[in-house]
Structure 1
Amino acid sequence: QRLLLAQALVGAPRLLLLDEPLAGLDPGAQVQIVALIDRIRRQLEATVLFSAHDLNPLLGVMDAALWIAARRVRLDAPAALLRADVLDGLYGARMQVISGEGRVVVVPAC
């Protein structure tokens, strides 16, 4: 993933389009990649558009969220979307938002 990211950064782009860059990575590697992307974003003053099915690793660095799910599209601040009723509608399944110790995690409700 780091090699692909390095290739994408050639020429200091103002916009990075990243398609599932965390897929297949263990949690430690996900944290490292997200931190690297966020650091690069700040240094280049670039916009990053990130597609991901698991939003948990991204919650600490998102400025805005564009949700596309079940033929529905919504653009908003992450805090406005991190509500179970909103996520239920976007995912078409019951979701649960858990917060504690300064963190928020989104999981399917069982």
Structure 2
Amino acid sequence: MVVVQRENRFAPLTLSRWEPTGDACSLMASLAASYPLRRPSPIVTTKMTSYLLTRCEGTIGELAMLLTEAATVAIATGDESINQATLQQAACAGPTERRRLFERELT
């Protein structure tokens, strides 16, 4: 009953997806600085920002999950930097891939 009441009181708000712009690069810089890694993470480039946003389908929650997983890999491997290698090793499926896996489980 509570959910129904909230649905009636609030209109849904759709947020736009992040695009590889200067704002997104600034976001990458902030996120990269928040991880306790010993080496700088070269993710604040237009090319890397574009790759990350494509992989995360432009959503900040997915981006945070991916970067956290990549930081974990970076620490575990001793690389101490979020880079192409640690991102490729990050076990983080994007929303579309998770949806496909879920639908495959249903069949």
TM-score between both structures, scaled by the size of structure 2: 0.24
When Rg is computed on C-alpha atoms for both structures, the one with the higher figure is 2
Select the structure that is richer in strand: 1
Higher relative contact order (CA 8 A, sep 6+): 2
TM-score between both structures, scaled by the size of structure 1: 0.24
